[in-house]
Amino acid sequence: MSPFVILFLFVAVYVLGAYPLQRIAQSTSDQRDDAFYAWIPLLSSILLVRLAGLSAWWTLVILACIVPGIGTLVCLGFQVAMYVKIGTRFHRTGLGWLAGLLPVIGAWVLAFNINTEAVA
C-alpha cells in the first residue's frame, strides 16, 4: 500500500474522531474554551478525561498503550469508560456505550444527540 494512502487514511480517521470530541466540548460550559484541544493529539486525551469529569492525570493511563497486548486492552477499556461517563453527563448513557465501543460512529451520534440544557 502506498505511503500516501496510509497517510490519507490516518488523517481521515483522526478528523473523524477529533470533530465529534470538539463538538461535545463546545456543548459544555466548563470545557467550551478548550474545545480546540480535540485537534492536538495528547491534549485530545486530556480533553476526553476532563469531559468525563476526572482529573487530567488520568491521561497517564494512555502510557499503558506502550505495553504490547495488555496495553491495547487497557486503552480500549479506558476509552469505553470515558465515553460512558461523558454519555452519563449528557444523560445519554446508551450513546456513551455506543461511542466507547464504536468510536468513530458512536462519537458522531453522541455529538449530535446531546442535551446541552442538562449539562453541568
Domain that residue 89 falls in: 3-118
Q: pTM, whole model, 2 decimals?
A: 0.82
Residues 18, 23, 28, 34, Cα dihedral to 10°: 50
pLDDT digits (tens, 9 = 90+) for 48-81: 899 999 888 888 887 777 778 888 888 888 888 9
Residue 115: per-residue pLDDT: 61
Per-residue pLDDT of the chain (120 residues; tens, 9 = 90+): 789 999 999 999 889 989 999 999 998 888 888 899 999 988 888 898 999 998 888 888 877 777 788 888 888 888 889 889 998 988 888 888 888 888 778 888 888 887 655 455
Cβ count within 10 A of residue 78:
21
Domain count, the chain: 1
Nearest to 106 by CA among 96, 118, 119, 93: 96
